[in-house]
Amino acid sequence: MAKFLGPIFLFLVLAGLVLCTADGTSRPGSYTLWEESDTVKVKIDKNDSAEKYKINFTDTSDGSTIKTWPEESFPISIKSFKPCHSYTVTFDPPCKSTTGFYKTRELFESDVNHTLKITGAKVQVCFETKWDLSKCIDIDISNSCTDYSVTFKGDPCKKSINFTLPPVKPVISYTNEFPTELRWDKKPSNCPKDLTYNCNGKH
């Protein structure tokens, strides 16, 4: 069995070596990284396809690694990265850059979305971003309809983005008289008096 597999194994190793020097030199190539359309793009010099390479991005702050193989595919979504972080970049086959690391930009206001989540009596506002950052906060009578600056734990630039928190879900009492009257119990004092609710809970 070992005798039979030997030549096949040798062939695979040689094929691997040929692939690694596909550009005709044994010298490492160089690359450029940049962000475009919510993805991180890679350009290898000599017009080589980035798909041929395995790329590791190692976060210099905590050592966590984003690997293009086997975990991610090209183009690499910025959803895998955190803003304002430095990553050391390694290539297989080897490739070098002038800096050897990649720094992501700051968080922008347009990177952040917020949604209201209501689970039973619990009301939360969840902030989602285009990056690997998210956060939910509880809404109650004391903070509903107030201004809130959201910052994310994983953002070393501590970019804060302002939101006005929505009203806490009102407890509505129905009366049996006609026409139907709605009465709020516990209207948050910060909320404007003329605030009305429609079916999707927005005002």
Sites of contact with ligand NAG (CB under 6 A): 47, 54, 56, 65, 67, 90-92, 111, 113, 128-130, 147, 149, 162
Smallest separation, CB 6 to ligand NAG (Å) = 25
54 vs 103 by CB, closer to ligand NAG: 54
Smallest separation, CB 70 to ligand NAG (Å) = 10
35 vs 128 by CB, closer to ligand NAG: 128
38 vs 138 by CB, closer to ligand NAG: 38
Smallest separation, CB 133 to ligand NAG (Å) = 10
Instruction: Compute how many other C-beta atoms are within 10 angstroms of the C-beta atom of residue 85.
Output: 21
Place of tokens 């000599």: 46
Instruction: Compute how many other C-beta atoms are within 10 angstroms of the C-beta atom of residue 184.
Output: 14
C-alpha angle 166-172-177 in degrees, rounded to nearest 5: 145
Instruction: Compute how many other C-beta atoms are within 10 angstroms of the C-beta atom of residue 26.
Output: 9
For residue 135, what are the β-bridge partners?
A: 127
